[in-house]
Amino acid sequence: MTDPGIAVNLVNTAPNTLRTTPNIQESWSNVKPFLTLICLHYNGGKLAHLRSIILIGATLGGWLFAPCAGCPRIADWPDDANLIDLFACVSDGYFPDVGGPQWETMLPDELGWNTDALPDFYDYMDAQNTRALLVLHHGRIVLEQYWGLNLSSQPFDANSYWYWASAGKTLTAALVGIAQYQGYLSLDDPTSLYLGSGWTSLNESDEGEILIRHQITMTSGLDDGVDDPYCTDPACLVFLADPGDRWAYHNGPYTLLDGVLVNATGAGFNAYFNQNLRDPIGMLGFWAYSDFNHVFYSTPRDMARFGLLILNQGIWAGQPILEDSAFVEAMTMPSQSLNPSYGYLWWLNGQESYLVPGLQFPFPGPLTPNAPDDMVAAMGKNGQLINVVPSMDLVVVRMGDNPGQSLVPMIFQNEMWAYLSDIICP
């Protein structure tokens, strides 16, 4: 029987190293029980599909995996599987250092990706006013490209700052979850408990029906058709429907979550954010007001760090950052039935229908048909994107100028995934 320590060492060895080490031919039937226990640990006690993509064309005991199908459960793998091949399906839990800029990379051809399709993809992204593109797999950078000029009119590079726009809503969602776990608030608390009465133009009774849950799910019932839907003044926040009865993409009530957090925690928003979310994962970046909006700015790699945190269910290198696992799960699941493609300020793929900002007509089918069904997305104006795909262990980041005219870049995101699918799933 193989020693458990050997299995642990194998799991913690980079997959590309394993594939170039011909003497690693341990019998899968001997290692399988130990690897099962290890992967149970990596996956939070769930014997589920490992969060990774397959090595295209790899065979396990003659079993050819279908591209992009993900890895089958360990228990279902054949006993005569080749260990060298199986490690294409095992994440070694890599995270970039918190204290420095070092970030390991992988080459796309090592993963069996279609590198012949990369030039057309890069041309498309450039033509769509993209400034930054990153694709992570197993936490490592596989694709990284920059175009154009940054906000200082200098060539855009890995150190350039850019705005997140509404993709930053997902940062606020995470911070609300942290504050709830720490006992400062509950999603079922009335918003007026923290903003006081009169934060809207509603009477006190109706205003008291609006909960933090409604703000974080875009179901406040306040009218998004006012002259300025970004406005947070009471005169701009008027009644249209009972809370929970209508989904509408309304920035004003969302932005006021900042005030809820400040008054609930007794800390400054930036200080609380930095201490509890930004600094523990090695992010840099800052919040700045633009009229009514509170906008986060960072480098593309900082955006990718947050995506990697969400990919790992709020855990960073073994350290829980979002400690409420139930909240993390709910955040990336349908939060209401009105728009099943919306969680807690995250957009969700693979649902039966979706609503778009400014319209009440539900569109049938998934949000991004070209992307995997389990993708969740942070989406912001002018195409600021974080796409997280657990089944493929992928994080995709895009920053840039406007690729279209919508508040949320749904068409562009779907077109981008048509290219990505051809590259990752040839």
What is residue 425's predicted lDDT score, i.e. its pLDDT? 83
Instruction: Tell me if residue 222 falls in helix, strand or coil.
Output: strand
pTM: 0.83
Mean pLDDT, residues 129-137: 97
Q: Of 25-34, 100-109, 126-135, 272-281, which range is least confident? A: 25-34
Mean pLDDT, residues 320-346: 98
Q: How far apart are CA 8 and CA 56, in angstroms?
A: 25
Residue 266 has pLDDT above 80, yes or no: yes
Mean pLDDT, residues 236-253: 98
What is residue 405's predicted lDDT score, i.e. its pLDDT? 65
Mean pLDDT, residues 324-343: 98
- Each residue's pLDDT tens digit, 3-24: 333 333 333 343 333 333 344 3
Which domains can be identified in the chain, with CATH numbers?
4-89 (no CATH), 144-424 (3.40.710.10)
- What sign does the CA torsion over 234, 236, 237, 240 have? positive
For residues 215 and 192, is the Cβ–Cβ distance under 8 A? no
- What is the percent of the chain where pLDDT is above 90? 75
Cβ contacts of 142-149, under 8 Å, gap ≥ 24? 142/105, 142/106, 142/107, 142/108, 142/111, 142/113, 143/108, 143/118, 144/105, 146/300, 147/400, 148/400, 148/401
What is residue 137's predicted lDDT score, i.e. its pLDDT? 96
Tokens coding 334: 């349908």
pLDDT band at 49 (very low <50, low <70, confident <90, very high): very low
